[in-house]
Amino acid sequence: MRFQPEPPFTHGQAPRIGVVWANLGTPDAPTPAALRRYLGEFLSDPRVVEIPALVWKVILHGIILRVRPAKSAAKYASVWTPDGSPLAVWTTRQAKLLQGYLGERGHSVTVLPAMRYGQPSIASALDALRAQGADKILVLPAYPQYSGATTASTFDAVSSWVQKVRRVPALRLVAEYHDHPAYIEALAASVRAHWKVEGPSRMLVMSFHGMPERTLHLGDPYHCQCHKTARLLAEALELSKDQYRVTFQSRFGKAKWLEPSTEPTLKALPAQGHERVDVICPGFVADCLETLEEIQMEGKEAFLQAGGKQFHYIPCLNADHAGISALVQIATEQLAGWPTTQAPNDADGKASAARARDMGAAR
Ligand SMILES: C=CC1=C(C)c2cc3[nH]c(cc4nc(cc5[nH]c(cc1n2)c(C)c5CCC(=O)O)C(CCC(=O)O)=C4C)c(C)c3C=C
Ligand SMILES: [Fe+2]
Ligand SMILES: [Fe+2]
């Protein structure tokens, strides 16, 4: 069958509005086998690695998937929690909180977490929302800054699902929110809260996930959006230019990536007179391998070994009240015009009355 069967429909069923809170995905265990599955899917996405397919297939299967899974599994094991991978734990919790906060503000919507790679897949979240009767769905990626590798790839997954569905719901895709005042203020509040306990820092490093530099020249707005987020955050914190740095982490492969790189920057700071550094990762809304292992563990070690004395990692927004409130504000603006404030019973009553009338007229 070309199009999958529609979920059962009962006349009078209240239409629902759904939100998909979409993140990258993470392995389901910190083991080489799970990493091979995860990296195999992730790194086969042409949005992530933009080199000719055949050449990449040979490198990926011949080298990378033989070597990297064991190394990455050991890194994941160092941050794994009793409830699973931090990225999965936070993303699930954030979806629940988002639905709860939206409900408290009178918006009756179902929010489901989804992962671009692994489970729960974007298609399964969209199927689940359709099964609940959702005829309007907002897709909110967990990426404030747009990039082809992340945001566009999420939209690709939505579009593949659309091509298999008979009754396609109304869809809205949120492309970016890198300069949204509520998101900037949530980040600023998290830094201020940290400084209230630890005292202010003379150097704040804002570390974003890297991308191949070529994507910048090809017109990907990611680099520009990271810099705008950083500038707005610095302004909110009243930092002068010499009190913060914008860096890029998680380099992959041999191509040139965006500069400056986080680790060399951290290593250079002590010689420039900085005994203390505070690091925040504003592009990640949830702590994950890249923030916990690469920054909080490896970054700290690099800074201390280079002569630094105090390394402070400022966690991602995670389940932070201001962070979730910012996401609620972003979602609410994007849901504008959709009847989210209609009480389900009310909607149910109106829908069944209207349908009964339609059916009567049709007979
Ligand atoms: C060519 C490779 C990669 C590109 C391009 C890339 C872009 C990119 N990634 C994120 C966010 C995350 N990446 C994470 C892990 C991760 N990223 C890559 C490679 C590329 N990322 C790899 C191989 C991995 C897996 C870990 C490893 O083996 O090193 C994660 C963490 C996932 C987790 O499970 O915790 C996130 C989040 C962004 C935002 C981005 C482009 C802007
Ligand atoms: Fe990545
Ligand atoms: Fe990494």
My answer on whether omega of the bond before 32 falls inside 30° of 0, hence cis, is no
- Residue 5's pLDDT is 87
What is the Cα Rg of the chain in Å?
Answer: 22
pLDDT (tens digit per residue) in 47-76: 999 999 999 999 999 999 999 999 999 999
Query: What confidence category does residue 348 fall into, taking pLDDT thresholds of 50, 70 and 90?
Result: very low
**Ligand 2 mean position, distance from CA 344 (Å):** 39
User: Which ligand number lies closest to the CA of residue 283?
Assistant: 1
**Ligand 1 mean position, distance from CA 75 (Å):** 13
- Residue 363's pLDDT is 31
Assess whether the C-beta atom of 48 lies below 6 angstroms from ligand 1: yes
Quote the distance between the C-alpha of residue 137 and its chain's center: 18
**Ligand 1 mean position, distance from CA 346 (Å):** 44
Q: Mean of the pLDDT values across residues 296-309?
A: 98
User: What whole-number distance in Å separates Cα of residue 179 and Cα of residue 286?
Assistant: 18
Judge whether residue 168 has pLDDT over 70. yes
Token pair, residue 234, equals 């610095």
- Residue 360's pLDDT is 39
DSSP string, 180-207: -HHHHHHHHHHHHHHHHHH---S-EEEE
- CA 253, 62, 88, 91 dihedral sign is positive
Q: Which CATH topology does 181-314 take?
A: Rossmann fold (3.40.50)
| 290 annotated to a ligand binding site | yes
| 11 annotated to a ligand binding site | no
User: Which ligand number lies closest to the CA of residue 154?
Assistant: 1
CB atoms within 10 A of CB 100: 13
User: Which ligand number lies closest to the CA of residue 72?
Assistant: 1
- φ, ψ dihedrals at 249, nearest 5°: -115, -175
Q: Mean of the pLDDT values across residues 156-176?
A: 97
List b or e across 211-234, with b for residues whose CB sees 16 or more CB atoms inside 10 angstroms. bbeebeeeebbbbebbeebbbbbb
Query: What confidence category does residue 342 fall into, taking pLDDT thresholds of 50, 70 and 90?
Result: confident
Q: Mean of the pLDDT values across residues 188-193?
A: 98
pTM: 0.94
Q: Mean of the pLDDT values across residues 193-204?
A: 97
My answer on whether omega of the bond before 82 falls inside 30° of 0, hence cis, is no
Ligand 1 pocket: which of 78, 250, 284 to mutate (most atoms <8 Å of CB)?
250
Judge whether residue 227 has pLDDT over 60. yes
